Every structure is written in C-alpha cells, then in structure tokens.
C-alpha cells in the first residue's frame, strides 16, 4: 500500500511538475499569462480553469480571469473575480485598479476612490491608475486633487489620450477655456480615434464661440461611438459633470445628420468610459520575456 501511494505521488509530480496545490495554482496562472501574452486566449482560458479546479483560493488566477471577463463586458462576473483577487492578494495593484474601473462605470466613485488610495499612496507609477484616481476624485468633488492626478497620469505616459482629455475637462470646469481647448486638441492629436477627446473638444470649442467647429467635433465623437447620444451614459458611465453632459447633448442634437436619424456607425464601440484597465503583472512579465527572445 505504501509503495502504491509513493508511486501515485511520483506520478502526480511527473504530471504537474509541482508537489503542492499552491504551486499547481501558480503554475497554471503563469501558463495562462504566457498564453495571453501570445494572444492564445483559448489555451489561457483552459489554464485558468485548471487553476480554479485545484480547489484552493487562487487570487492570481482570479485577477487574470477577472480582467478577461471585464474586457468581454461581463462586469458582474469580473467584479466578483477581481474582488476575490484583491481580498486574497492586496498587493496586486492591477487587480485593485481593474476593480476600481468597474466601480467607476457603475456609479460607485467613492468605492473606487477608497480602493485606489492605498496603491496611489504606495507610489505605484502607472498612468492608467492615476487617470482613474483623478476620475474618482473629480466625481467626489475634489477638483484640485483630480487635476493633480491627471497631470501625474500624463507625466507617467505623455501619450495617454484619456488622461489628457480628463485634464482638459478640469481646465474647462475651472473656466480656463482656451487652455482646455488646447488640451483637448492635444488629446485628438495623440489619438485621432478617441471619442472622448472629440466630445470634449466639441464643448470646449462651443465655449469659445466656435459653434460650427464644435458640431463637427461632436459628430466625430458620435461616429466613433454612438453611445454619446445617451446623456445618462455620459454622466453615469463616462463620469462627465452634469453641466458638461448637457452642453454635449445640445451639440449632438444640433447635428443635421442626427436630426435626420442618420448617426448609426458601423465602428461604434462599447467602452468603459475613460477609466482604464491595467495589465496584470504576470501578463506584463510574460510579454517582456517574449519581447526579449
């Protein structure tokens, strides 16, 4: 009997390459990250299922799977998985950030702010996280701190068009209208297909008296993403201030094509506002290793 158990253990080690449930979970999570880095999502999914089937808590696998579900827009499942990841591995700043995105797009900015603050105070140098932190601060009425967060996001990544657009919104709310227009124009220059930058530019141009150019910018935003016609989504998902959303809705309604009902776009995207996901650290590590080969 002892010999049989010993042989079974040897077989298990030979198959799994590890001896403990924790090691097996870690192995499958790392394998999933490698497959995601190679864009082989089917095999990554299988590795994550294997990690979950080990039968012990696996916060790293939850973090990766939660991000995958969020990008598929299954936000309820993503929230459960990411909450489990944060609870089991509080030092996973990417999981914290990604859960905060879900809070932001579901109207829970105070929860997002509480979740992000430990990572920000820990000195995490990530542009997406600082952008999301700024959004949460702005929604909670802390405009000066929000502007600093967006500036920090732009320092971490000068090509973050969403952070640049959010910084422009802060200037707009502070009545620095010419500076706001210049910042939104920079965001459009960084990413000409960023609907948030065009939407912001439209209200900025209207504020400085450029009504025709404002309608053109609003039309570009709606062509890229038709969800801008929904004012509730502008406020509750994109976290725009109410005043700015009213002005954007006015501009969109003034577009002749919109009045004729011709604004449906084949390239409209379903997005999560301007809140930004962070890549999981295991996936980032796998991508660096692939790039080094």
Asked whether residue 57 is domain-assigned, the answer is: no
Q: How far apart are CA 53 and CA 207, in angstroms?
A: 57
The domain tally of the chain equals 1
Give residue 164's pLDDT band: very low, low, confident or very high (50, 70, 90).
Answer: very high
Q: How far apart are CA 166 and CA 37, in angstroms?
A: 30
**What is the tens place of the pLDDT at every residue in 90-130?**
999 999 999 999 999 888 999 999 999 999 999 999 999 99
Q: Other CB atoms closer than 10 Å to residue 251's CB: what's the count? A: 24
Asked whether residue 45 is domain-assigned, the answer is: no
Asked whether residue 134 is domain-assigned, the answer is: no
**What is the tens place of the pLDDT at every residue in 199-253?**
999 999 999 999 999 999 999 998 888 888 888 888 888 899 999 999 999 999 8
Asked whether residue 141 is domain-assigned, the answer is: no
Q: How many residues comprise the chain?
A: 293
The yes-or-no verdict on residue 293 having pLDDT over 80 is no
pLDDT at 268: 39
Q: How far apart are CA 193 and CA 114, in angstroms?
A: 32
- Percent of the chain exceeding pLDDT 90 equals 57
Q: Which helix (H) or strand (E) holds 278?
A: none
What angle is formed at CA 109 by the lines to CA 198 and CA 273, rounded to 5 degrees?
25
Domain that residue 224 falls in: 161-273
pLDDT at 227: 85
CATH (domain of 187): 1.25.40.10
Q: How far apart are CA 191 and CA 205, in angstroms?
A: 18
Q: How far apart are CA 227 and CA 238, in angstroms?
A: 10
Asked whether residue 181 is domain-assigned, the answer is: yes
Higher pLDDT, 72 or 77: 77
Asked whether residue 268 is domain-assigned, the answer is: yes
């Amino acid at each position: 009997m002892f010999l049989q158990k010993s042989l079974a253990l040897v077989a298990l080690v030979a198959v799994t390459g590890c001896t403990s449930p924790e090691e097996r979970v870690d192995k499958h999570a790392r394998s999933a990250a490698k497959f995601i880095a190679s864009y082989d999502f089917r095999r990554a999914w299988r590795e994550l299922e294997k990690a979950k089937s080990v039968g012990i808590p696996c916060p790293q696998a939850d973090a990766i799977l939660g991000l995958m579900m969020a990008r598929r827009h299954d936000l309820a499942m993503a929230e459960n998985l990411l909450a489990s990841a944060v609870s089991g591995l509080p030092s996973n700043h990417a999981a914290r950030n990604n859960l905060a995105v879900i809070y932001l797009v579901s109207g829970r900015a105070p929860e997002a702010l509480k979740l992000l603050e430990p990572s920000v105070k820990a000195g995490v140098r990530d542009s997406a996280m600082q952008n999301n932190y700024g959004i949460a601060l702005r929604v909670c009425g802390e405009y000066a701190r929000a502007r600093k967060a967006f500036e920090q996001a732009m320092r971490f990544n000068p090509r973050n068009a969403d952070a640049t657009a959010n910084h422009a919104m802060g200037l707009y709310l502070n009545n620095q209208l010419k500076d706001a227009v210049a910042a939104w124009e920079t965001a459009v220059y960084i990413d000409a297909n960023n609907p948030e930058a065009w939407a912001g530019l439209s209200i900025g141009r209207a504020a400085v008296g450029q009504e025709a150019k404002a309608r053109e910018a609003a039309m570009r935003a709606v062509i890229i993403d038709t969800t801008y016609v929904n004012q509730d989504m502008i406020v509750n998902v994109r976290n725009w201030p109410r005043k700015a959303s009213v002005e954007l809705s006015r501009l969109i309604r003034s577009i002749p094509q919109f009045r004729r009902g011709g604004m449906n776009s084949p390239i409209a995207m379903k997005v999560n506002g301007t809140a930004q996901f962070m890549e999981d650290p295991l996936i980032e590590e796998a991508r660096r290793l692939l790039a080094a080969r």
